[in-house]
Amino acid sequence: MPVNIPHNLPAVEILKKENIFVMDNLRAATQDIRPLKVALLNLMPVKIVTETDFVRLLSNSPLQVEVDLVKMQTHESKHTPPEHLATFYRNFEDIRKEYYDGMIITGAPVETLDFEDVTYWEELTGIMDWAARHVTSTLYICWGAQAGLYHFYGIDKYPLAKKKFGVFRHTLNHPGISLFRGFDGEFYVPHSRHTEIRREDILANPALSLLSESPEAGVYLVMSRGGREIFITGHSEYAPETLHNEYMRDLAKGLPIEMPANYYRDNDPAQGVCVRWRAHAHLMFKNWLNYYVYQATPFNPKEIERLEDISV
């Protein structure tokens, strides 16, 4: 089954052109199937791009997924049309009493700030605490992963000497877990960040499991509570041109930016992008939906609050 989203969301037409099967909510209403409910808390400024990236990955599953787009109420988005936000997004207060099978908390371009200096930090921590009781499994992405690790486990982030920018090789520390079913021993993931979390801090906390890392990019995937919280420092969801567009943008602004590593063919932008992360991204999200959301969520959503861990 495909992902179920509003019929007039811009992502629908974009993904149909990519030959990705999506089902709008008008057609889905005729099917007698309970879809998985997934909330996407979108912290990125250009929300249409980010929501399309994640809907693309959620679509590649035999499970029907109903996506609720959520935004921060204490932060005004200046890079997404107000009518788009009013039509497709809900505030946290609108969903506070609901339960979700899965949730995704995206990254945000605020990583150089102290967490407490982020204007919506108090609201975000309230949402993360709520997710721990109302969501079967939550994916925390990039800065979202740093925020979650800091809030729940006191894991600090550290500034990098230069931006970690490119597509990097990763390995598995625990290949037998369900999230990695079908994975090769090595796979590639895009990264784009100015800060990092350190493996020694993760390993020092018995509540955390370091499941995947990179010789170049460092910590990649950390799990807690048996998979009810999954922290991902990279951007598996990125479309092929995302790093290119970011590179061109920073060059035009005169910012100190190096060519994204392992990204262009023969390191030549004129030759185009060598896409080597999409298969891993689709497989990881498919495994997450199946083993950590669908297989683990209770029949009665209110029973989510009683889950101890997922144990798969």
Average pLDDT, whole number, for the chain?
Answer: 90
Q: Do 209 and 223 touch, CB atoms closer than 8 A?
A: yes
Q: Is 235 a catalytic residue?
A: yes
Q: Which of 66, 213, 229, 237 is catalytic?
A: 237
DSSP-assigned states of every residue in 280-311: HHHHHHHHIIIIIIITTS-SSGGGGGG-----
pLDDT of residue 189: 98
Q: Do 188 and 276 touch, CB atoms closer than 8 A?
A: yes
Q: What's the pLDDT tens digit per position in 146-161?
A: 999 999 999 999 999 9
Provide mean pLDDT across the span 187-206: 97
Provide mean pLDDT across the span 113-122: 97
**Token pair recorded at residue 306:** 């009683």
Q: Which of 66, 134, 142, 170 is catalytic?
A: 142
Q: Which of 134, 191, 235, 280 is catalytic?
A: 235
Which residues, including other chains, have CB under 8 Å from residue 306's CB and lie 6 or more apart? 298
Catalogue all structural domains in the chain, each as residue range(s) with its CATH number. 3-306 (3.40.50.880)
Q: Is 237 a catalytic residue?
A: yes
Q: How far is CA 258 from CA 119, 220, 254, 263, in A?
A: 30, 21, 11, 12
Provide mean pLDDT across the span 267-274: 96
Which contacts qualify for 146-149: CB closer than 8 Å, 24 or more apart? 146/111, 146/195, 146/197, 146/233, 147/105, 147/115, 148/105, 148/229, 148/231, 149/197, 149/202, 149/208, 149/222, 149/231
Provide mean pLDDT across the span 33-41: 89
pLDDT at 107 over 50: yes
Q: How confident is the model at residue 278 (pLDDT cuts 50, 70, 90)?
A: very high
pLDDT at 84 over 80: yes
Q: Is 142 a catalytic residue?
A: yes
Provide mean pLDDT across the span 217-245: 97
The distance from CA 158 to its chain's CA centroid, rounded to whole angstroms, is 21
pLDDT of residue 22: 56
Length of the chain: 312
Which residue in this structure is represented by tokens 């209770």? Answer: 298
The distance from CA 69 to its chain's CA centroid, rounded to whole angstroms, is 13
Provide mean pLDDT across the span 252-274: 96
Least confident of 15-24, 42-51, 283-292: 15-24
Q: How confident is the model at residue 31 (pLDDT cuts 50, 70, 90)?
A: very low
